[in-house]
Amino acid sequence: MPTRAVAPQTLAAFGAANSSRIADSNEDDHDLETKEIIILHEMTFLRDILSNTFKYCHSTIHFLNLKSYSMETNIVKAKGCHFVMVHGATFGGWCWYQVADLLLKAGHTVSSIDMASGGIDPTNADTISSLQEYNQPLTDFFTALPSEGKVILVGHSAGGFNLSFTMERFPDKIAAAVFVTAFMPLSGTTLSELMNEIVSIIGGFGDSTFYYANGKENPATSFKFGTQFAREFLSQNSPSWDLTLWESLEKKSPIWQEPLLYTAKNYGSVRRIFVVSKEDKVIVEAFQRKMIAGNPPQMVYEIEGSDHTVFFSKPLQLAEVLMKIANTSVSK
């Protein structure tokens, strides 16, 4: 089975990492040149489609069918839920395109939100000094949501801060919050603290760039992942075309210094699910387990063979997990 749900108290020991090999085909130089040109045109076309989709849909994105799946899947039509997708640092709502497509095909609604400075949002990341500012597009989205019905809120990586912030403010509008290899911070935690903990585990962020809009004597105000770091640590199991797309769309992400604050009454009333990425080399499995143990969710799912960018490396398996969550949600 590609995914499995386990109760937090019965989590299995870490699995051995799997590796994949891509065999080189025997082609002459002319064929290789032709293929390179075709790939370049395809990537340009894909980027244009995504850009136009953003311009016309912005906060609520019903993605185009950009990829066909010939394999048999366990995804079937179901009574529609509304999924609200939150990206992590340096991404935009576009990163969910494959998962969103699968959910839409199954009859669900998908809204992929650009955080402030993310995706096509024009905000300068270096001007964002608080989580409240960074989260404003998601706050506006939830404020506009009708009171009847609830959504399933899904966040990746640093997007866990956005989930927690929103759970505290709109608990009555969220049926479940899904942390996909995401920070699941305790109240009082800052983003910098968790980033520093990551550094202590993996040794640093390689060729990533940190920006200091307030001077080097003050904390960094934003950052971007480096190409080598992304390919070796963030997306080592993902298709190269998705990494190329990400590299062309990546933006600086803000680093705010204020702590996240929430209460048991609001945050604690929302059902939480954590999705473990078994081969994440940044928020490594041991750190994911530590967060789960320190702030236990109601359910934990595991995805084998997935790297940090689960929506690239294992979109089908992630969609299947979200389907299972939808089927057990109290409110649709």
Whether pTM > 0.85 for this model: the answer is: no
213 forms beta bridges with none
Q: Which two tokens stand for residue 305?
A: 């063979």
Task: Please count the other Cβ atoms lying within 10 Å of the Cβ belonging to residue 204.
Answer: 10
Q: What is the rounded radius of gyration, in angstroms, for the C-alpha atoms of the chain? A: 19
Active-site residue identified among 112, 157, 222, 313 = 157
pLDDT for 42 equals: 41
Active-site residue identified among 101, 280, 306, 307 = 280
State the angle between helix axes of 285-294 and 191-202 in degrees (0 to 180), rounded to the nearest 10.
140
**306 labelled catalytic:** no
Q: What is the mean pLDDT of each run of 10 residues along the chain (332 residues)?
A: 42 29 36 38 43 36 31 46 98 98 97 98 98 98 92 98 98 98 98 97 98 97 97 97 96 97 98 98 98 98 98 98 88 41
pLDDT for 79 equals: 62
Active-site residue identified among 82, 87, 156, 308 = 308
Coil, helix or strand for 236? coil
Number of residues written out for the chain: 332
Q: What are phi and psi of 14, to 5 degrees?
A: -60, 140
| 292 contacts: CB under 8 Å, gap ≥ 6 | 8, 11, 184, 274, 276, 300
Pick the CATH number of 3-7+35-63+77-328 from 3.40.50.300, 3.40.50.1820, 3.30.300.20, 1.20.140.10: 3.40.50.1820
pLDDT for 74 equals: 41
The alpha carbon of residue 40 and the mean position of all alpha carbons in its chain are separated, in whole angstroms, by: 26
Q: Please state the domain extents for the chain.
A: 3-7+35-63+77-328
**308 labelled catalytic:** yes
**164 labelled catalytic:** no
pLDDT for 260 equals: 98
